[in-house]
Chain A
């Protein structure tokens, strides 16, 4: 069964979209990330114009995050104060990012910037996570030595000297508000340009840079991702007019169902296994995209795709 997408202006199989949403939802349920970093390239792959893919992914991540935050909120795993500070940064960042997006779209370097930021960020995060989880997996068999307490960035004297100290009771932290604020700005920019909630970036950053307890991290990151991606969706709807509601709704139906199976299966896996698999997946996406940049294209010329006519 085919359906015509009014903004993307192409006809796609309903089952393909439901399946795509389901697969991405399954992975996000399994790994606890929004899944936008997978969805955007997959949408582009099936022929959705890149600007529509980015804007619509943001819209669908809103739904995925709301759904997941609900569960975390019930377990009281959301630090609303920390989330709000991250959010303020995120809103600043995503507004700037959406502006950057429309500038790049006008200049014509948008595809290159999206591809490059994807390859770089996914490659780095994927490689770091994979190394970390492989170490953890290798440690396990021989009795499990105690894990060395990592020297965290927030302990650094320069960071400690920053002004605007704030107490985050749920995260058991007393740190400068500038730290989460600037992290929020950075993630917001990425969210707008790449159409991702950037949960895969935010989660490690909250653990290693801010020093938050892992239990609170996922819920809090999802809490702020809701508002950042909602803002991104709004801004794209206004500036680039590339949000396709029909596409978002179809992906959403698939993803909320897939996510539940993902969560169920995730419960049977060990933490290092989950992280290792996610890292491998992230790396695979990065490598596939890198190939696209390096290999000689079939046609060096391309016509401008999508956008308002």
Chain B
């Protein structure tokens, strides 16, 4: 129980750290690795590595765990962040053309949230905002000179577009309890999921407060021939281009010769 008490005291302090790094710090400080049997929250993923091979069509991971005290569970998976450019079309001379674009930093390539019940019923908005739980709480940093209020439509467009692409997933209500202690949820990744280091965060919430939190990394990587082709195209672009042209020329010539005989 000592550990629990320490967590109680530690967590709120950590969560109050200003800025977007709060959740990451909380996650880093949350217990991980071999957890004592009396820990309030124990979780694991069915796999910590997703390999993108030639037959990759998207995949599903199973996250499962056990809680030692009552509460609601929230699962968040964040992909690597990067700069995103949003373009807006405007009708010009009767044609829909891109007229304006805005850039945002800190946009996760992938973001999924799952929970036992709707987020609003589990935790207060301030908590969700602070930990960036739920796609609409994500804080993208605007890069540009305009008034931040002017670009809010561009922000919501990112979430809308990513959701449409299946890269932002809302699975509230998707964490199922098997009995009083065991829970599980499935996390889906589409075929277009970007490679990188992902972070899985699991929160146990009771009475509008985080009772326990855990964080575990997840790696998504291209493997085998996919990785080699991709690396080749990036590290030796000139040789890659030459090989592409030669392959095409040889294939075309072979086809012509083969069909002349046939």
Q: Point out residues on A near B: beta carbons under 8 Å.
A: 2-4, 6-7, 9-11, 59-60, 62-68, 70-71, 74, 108-109, 111-112, 116, 226, 230, 233-238, 241, 243, 245-246, 248-249, 252-253, 256-257, 259-260, 293-297, 299-304, 308-309
Name 15 interchain pairs, CB-CB below 8 A, sorted by A.
Answer: A9-B194, A59-B245, A70-B260, A112-B97, A237-B237, A237-B240, A237-B244, A241-B234, A243-B244, A248-B244, A256-B252, A299-B157, A300-B96, A301-B154, A303-B157
Query: What string of 1s and 0s marks CB contacts (under 8 Å) between B236-262 and chain A?
Result: 011011111101110111011101100
Contact across chains for A293 and B54 when beta carbons are under 8 A apart: no
Which of A65, A260, A301 has a CB less than 8 Å from the CB of B259? Answer: A260
Which of A6, A116, A245, A304 has a CB less than 8 Å from the CB of B85? Answer: A304
Contact across chains for B226 and A66 when beta carbons are under 8 A apart: no
Q: Which residue of A lies closest to B226 (CB)?
A: A6
Contact across chains for A6 and B229 when beta carbons are under 8 A apart: yes
- For the complex formed, measure the closest distance between the CB of B68 and the CB atoms of chain A, giving whole angstroms: 41
- For the complex formed, measure the closest distance between the CB of A107 and the CB atoms of chain B, giving whole angstroms: 9
Within 8 A of A (CB), among B124-144: none
Residues in B with CB closer than 8 Å to A112 are 95, 97-98
What separation, in Å, do the CA atoms of A276 and B56 have in the docked complex? 43
Contact across chains for A241 and B233 when beta carbons are under 8 A apart: yes
- For the complex formed, measure the closest distance between the CB of B53 and the CB atoms of chain A, giving whole angstroms: 7
Residues in A with CB closer than 8 Å to B95 are 112, 116, 293-294
Contact across chains for A297 and B233 when beta carbons are under 8 A apart: no
Contact across chains for B249 and A71 when beta carbons are under 8 A apart: no
Residues in A with CB closer than 8 Å to B260 are 70-71, 74
What separation, in Å, do the CA atoms of A74 and B229 have in the docked complex? 36
Contact across chains for B86 and A4 when beta carbons are under 8 A apart: no
Contact across chains for A234 and B194 when beta carbons are under 8 A apart: no
What separation, in Å, do the CA atoms of A111 and B101 have in the docked complex? 13
Contact across chains for B89 and A10 when beta carbons are under 8 A apart: no
Contact across chains for A245 and B243 when beta carbons are under 8 A apart: yes
Contact across chains for B54 and A237 when beta carbons are under 8 A apart: no
Contact across chains for B251 and A302 when beta carbons are under 8 A apart: no
Residues in B with CB closer than 8 Å to A7 are 229-230, 233
A-side binding surface: helix, strand, loop or mixed? helix
What separation, in Å, do the CA atoms of A116 and B95 have in the docked complex? 10
Contact across chains for B54 and A233 when beta carbons are under 8 A apart: no
Q: How many residues of B contact A (CB 8 A)?
A: 60
Chain A binder among B31-39, B158-166, B169-177, B179-187: B158-166
Known: A59-B248, A71-B260, A256-B251. A108 touches B85 (CB 8 A): yes
Contact across chains for A309 and B245 when beta carbons are under 8 A apart: no
Which of B84, B226, B233 has a CB less than 8 Å from the CB of A237? Answer: B233
What separation, in Å, do the CA atoms of A163 and B260 have in the docked complex? 43
Residues in B with CB closer than 8 Å to A248 are 244, 247-248
Contact across chains for A11 and B56 when beta carbons are under 8 A apart: yes
Contact across chains for B244 and A245 when beta carbons are under 8 A apart: yes
Indicate whether B197 reaches chain A with its CB closer than 8 angstroms. no
Residues in B with CB closer than 8 Å to A233 are 241, 244-245, 248
- For the complex formed, measure the closest distance between the CB of B30 and the CB atoms of chain A, giving whole angstroms: 29
Which of B222, B238, B243, B255 has a CB less than 8 Å from the CB of A238? Answer: B238
Residues in A with CB closer than 8 Å to B194 are 9, 309
Contact across chains for A303 and B249 when beta carbons are under 8 A apart: no
Contact across chains for B55 and A4 when beta carbons are under 8 A apart: yes
Residues in B with CB closer than 8 Å to A111 are 98
Indicate whether B117 reaches chain A with its CB closer than 8 angstroms. no
Residues in B with CB closer than 8 Å to A60 are 248
- For the complex formed, measure the closest distance between the CB of A78 and the CB atoms of chain B, giving whole angstroms: 14
Indicate whether B47 reaches chain A with its CB closer than 8 angstroms. no
Which of B57, B90, B222, B252 has a CB less than 8 Å from the CB of A6? Answer: B222
Residues in A with CB closer than 8 Å to B58 are 11
Contact across chains for B256 and A68 when beta carbons are under 8 A apart: yes
Known: A4-B56, A62-B249, A248-B248. A301 touches B86 (CB 8 A): yes
Which of A6, A236, A245 has a CB less than 8 Å from the CB of B247? Answer: A245
Residues in B with CB closer than 8 Å to A9 are 192, 194
Q: Which residue of B lies closest to A12 (CB)?
A: B191
Not counting A299-B164, A309-B82, a sample of 10 additional A-B residue pairs whose C-beta atoms are within 8 angstroms of each other reads A62-B248, A63-B248, A67-B255, A234-B242, A243-B240, A245-B233, A245-B240, A299-B160, A303-B85, A304-B84
